[in-house]
Structure 1
Amino acid sequence: MAIETTADPLAGQTKKARQLLVSSSRHSYDPRLDIDWDAPLVEGKWFLPEKRCTLYSTPIWDTLTLEQKIVSSREEMASSIGLGVWTEHMLLHMVSRYIYDRNVATPQVQFALTEVADEVRHMIMFANVVEKMGSEVYLTPWRIRESGRLLKSVVPVAALWALILLTEEIFDQIQREVAADETVQPLVRTMSRIHVVEEARHISFARTELERFVPQLSKARLSALRTLLALSIQTFSQEFFNPLMYSRAGLPASARKEAVANPYVRETFSSAAERITTYYRSLGLIGGSSARIWRKAGFLKADSRD
């Protein structure tokens, strides 16, 4: 896929920021008001589309009652929301770093400030949805939190936007499916719809930033960024199978092992990542040894070329 460029990338970035500021003023939500928190959960509705549950079609899945499957989908959604809260927190820290030395009067900085405000609302919305679902908040594992302390403080700007896209694009694809699935709880669908609409702006701005920064990287810095992204997606794939979500759903310890080996999960990963992997390849952010890490983690299809 060819990347369109302008004669003046900075002018293009400024134009995009102005457009997104207008969009933000017209199409933003306040979850406190735009979600009906008093509405009861709907009996028999899923919290995640059945085919996106990590145990779907495994031997253990076929032994569960419908009620047990729905509880399992609830805990998986709560676990993914916990990862989403951590991701949003990381992103708002890094976007704040982007803002720190820049002119607050510029459209770019003003949109970045708008993005920080969006992320704060999303974190609160996610926490309230978990509570309303009847689950508990899932804290990010200690080793991820500790590595994040360093990452959010020292990651270069180009890596900032690449990491934003890495997480937001994958969650975006899954949440689009959730928002459209009428078998899913209305509460979860509304949460997903709000997040999709507002994150679309963040994704668009991050792409504009990347298309300006990446061509300026030296071969060594580009290689380092490739490695960072590949290791990040590898970590994401490992943390996706949180053992706690299976135990909270009342499932045996063997459940996680079956989920990790489930081919349907790899299909979920690769389909959710298809847009971002295509885009990263167009920028040279996936290739060589990094592509092999992406493929091993399940986010590149086995027949795709490096």
Structure 2
Amino acid sequence: MTSTLDPATRADVGRVTGADHGREPEDVAARLLDSAAALSYDPMSEVDWEAPLDPDHFGLNPEWSTLYGTPLWDEMTHEQRITLTRHEVASIMSTGIWFEMILQQMVLRDQYCGKYAESDFQFALTEIADECRHSLMFARACRTMGIEAYVPRRASRELGRLFKTIAVSEAAYGGILVAEEVLDVMQRDWMRGENVLPLVRTTSKIHVVEESRHMTFARAQMREHMVGTSALRRRSAALLIAVAARVIVSNMVSRDVYAAAGLDVDRAVRAAKANTHHHVMMRTSSQHLMAFLADCGLLTTPAAAIYRTVHML
């Protein structure tokens, strides 16, 4: 089977910019509904799930590996690097599933007994349907690579339960934006990586195209909720979003991926934490997000300090 996805450049459709700034949220949602009708995918038919995995292909661009650029990476065999990157991408996909389940609950709660005829309500449910497909896509991708799911640490799982319970309005959509924006930049590289598994390239393209709409929707919702808010609420939301970002980013790559690659786990964790190359990559992937938060008044001094702990700023 050959994927019917268009070339990589088409995946830039809907890239979040300032184009929707100033538009009414209902107008933005209506445009996004039209976009979803014109450009959406079914991963079960778009991805060639039966294709053999080329043993020479990475799970993600090596430059995105947490160990790339370290002395430990130089010591690793090619096979270890392949294994590591496949487990890293599986860990990131697993984290994506975890947060997509949180996201779905928050969006559904936000739209509970909403105005069903309005585009806002209808796109919110469209987004939930997209996220369900994405979670199934990531789960099947992990299984196809022969990798068990990686789950966040116990403390993070409980913080996730708390966040989805207490986060509302701009804080909820801010948490959603954090997860989607960082992954978006990574996947735009992965989907063009000639040395990356076609399975990962295709799933990345699908996610990039559809998540671009979700990010636009989240931005519109945040701008609407921030109008006329008090300084206290703004500072509280800024802090909650930053904490959510730290939890999400710190769980993206499980320490267990290093054991899967046959590495000394403690040494690998230390090397990853000190890896300045990866820190730069994370800051690059967060540039759009940080600019947007600053524009909304949500990049306060305490929040910025938290973002720096995970090298997003």
Whether TM-score is above 0.5 comes out as: yes
Counterparts in 2 of 1:1-306, with a 5 A limit? 6=22, 12-253=24-265, 254-300=267-313
Partners of 1:3 and 1:282 within 8 A in 2? no
CA RMSD of aligned residues (A): 1.6
Distance 1:3 1:124 in 2: 31
Stretch of structure 1 that moved more, 241-250 or 192-201: 241-250
Query: How far apart are 1:293 and its partner, in Å?
Result: 2.0
Following the alignment from structure 1 to structure 2, what is the Cα–Cα distance between the partners of residues 105 and 15?
Answer: 13
Percent identity, aligned pairs only, is 36
Taking the aligned partners of 2:123 and 2:86, their CA distance within structure 1 comes to 34
Does the CA contact (< 8 Å) of 1:241 and 1:259 recur in 2?
A: no
Question: CA–CA distance in 1 between the matches of 2:239 and 2:187?
Answer: 27
Amino acid paired to 2:292: Y
Q: SS where residue 60 of structure 1 aligns? A: helix
CA distance 1:210–1:72, shift in 2 (3 Å): same
- State the 1:236 CA deviation: 3.0
State the shift of 1:178 in Å.
Answer: 0.6
Report which stretch shifted further, 189-198 or 49-58.
49-58
Compared with structure 1, are the counterparts of its residues 2 and 133 closer, same or farther at alpha carbon in structure 2 (3 Å cutoff)?
closer
Structure-1 separation of matches of 2:30 and 2:253? 40
The count of corresponding residues between Structure 1 and Structure 2 is 296
Equivalent residue letter for 1:263 = T
**In 1, Cα distance between equivalents of 2:55 and 2:307:** 38
Following TM superposition, by how much is the alpha carbon of 1:294 offset from its aligned partner in structure 2, in angstroms? 1.4
In 1, distance between residues paired with 2:131 and 2:19? Answer: 28
User: Aligned AA for 1:148?
Assistant: G
Give SS of 2:152's match: coil
Offset from partner CA, 1:238-258 (integer Å, 9 cap, x none): 323421111122211211111
Distance 2:158 2:172 in 1: 18
Pick closer, same or farther for the CA change 1:122–1:4 going to 2, 3 Å: closer
Query: CA contact under 8 A between 2:92 and 2:253: conserved in structure 1?
Result: no
Contact between 2:180 and 2:211, CA under 8 Å: does it hold in 1?
yes
Shift of the 33–270 alpha-carbon distance from structure 1 to 2, 3 Å rule, reads same
Question: What's the TM-score, normalizing by structure 1?
Answer: 0.93
Contact 1:234–1:294 (8 Å) recurs in 2: yes
Deviates more, 1:20-29 or 1:141-150: 141-150
Q: Shift in Å at residue 108 of structure 1?
A: 0.6
Letter in 1 for 2:137: M
Question: In structure 1, what is the Cα distance between the partners aligned to 2:34 and 2:20?
Answer: 23
Quick check: 109-118 or 205-214, which moved more? 205-214
Q: Which residue is equivalent to 1:303?
A: none
